[in-house]
Structures are given as C-alpha cells and as structure tokens.
Amino acid sequence: MTKTLFIRAEWDDEAEVWVATSDDVPGLATEADTLEALSLKLESMVPELMDLNGSTEGPEVPFELLARKFAVAHRHMN
C-alpha cells in the first residue's frame, strides 16, 4: 500500500500566499494565491519531487493537504 504524504499549507500574511512544505517530500517548498491553486500545483510537483528523491512507490502518489490560517475576528461592541 502506498503511503499518504502529509503536506502543510500555511497562510503568509505578509506575502498574501499559501505556502506548502512537507517532511515527507524532501525539497518541497511552493506557494500559491489560493488553496485550490496550491493543490493543483502540488499534483504535478509532488510526483516529480518523489521521482527526483528516488521513490520506488507505484504510479499514484496520494497526499493530504492540511491548511492552517490564523485570523482575528472583531465583535461590534455596544
């Protein structure tokens, strides 16, 4: 069975992009404006990086993308 790779995405407030990194995919560091765009980018990057890293897994490369964004909500005080 192929291992599911874990990829973290965190919102960078300063750059206003989602940044993806992973301990499971050596060399992975990429960014995109939206989570959807980031996920599409990862669909091509992850298999390429796994090949470059000498992975011998099958043709499918499953990954889990966990997104995290810190924010502050403001209440209207009367």
Q: What is the CATH number of the domain that holds 50?
A: 3.30.2390.10
Q: 57 pLDDT band (50/70/90 cuts)?
A: confident
Residue 43 sits at the vertex; the CA angle it makes with 10 and 1, to the nearest 5 degrees, is 100
Phi-psi region of 59 (alpha: psi -120 to 50; beta: other; left: phi over 0): alpha
Is the residue at 61 inside a domain? yes
Is the residue at 78 inside a domain? no
Is the residue at 64 inside a domain? yes
Q: Give the closest residue to 12 by CA, choosing from 26, 39, 33.
A: 33
The tally of domains found in the chain comes to 1
Q: 44 pLDDT band (50/70/90 cuts)?
A: very high
Is the residue at 76 inside a domain? no
Q: 36 pLDDT band (50/70/90 cuts)?
A: very high
Is the residue at 47 inside a domain? yes
| Contact status, residue 28 vs residue 10, Cβ threshold 8 Å | no
What's the domain range around 25?
A: 5-68
Is the residue at 63 inside a domain? yes
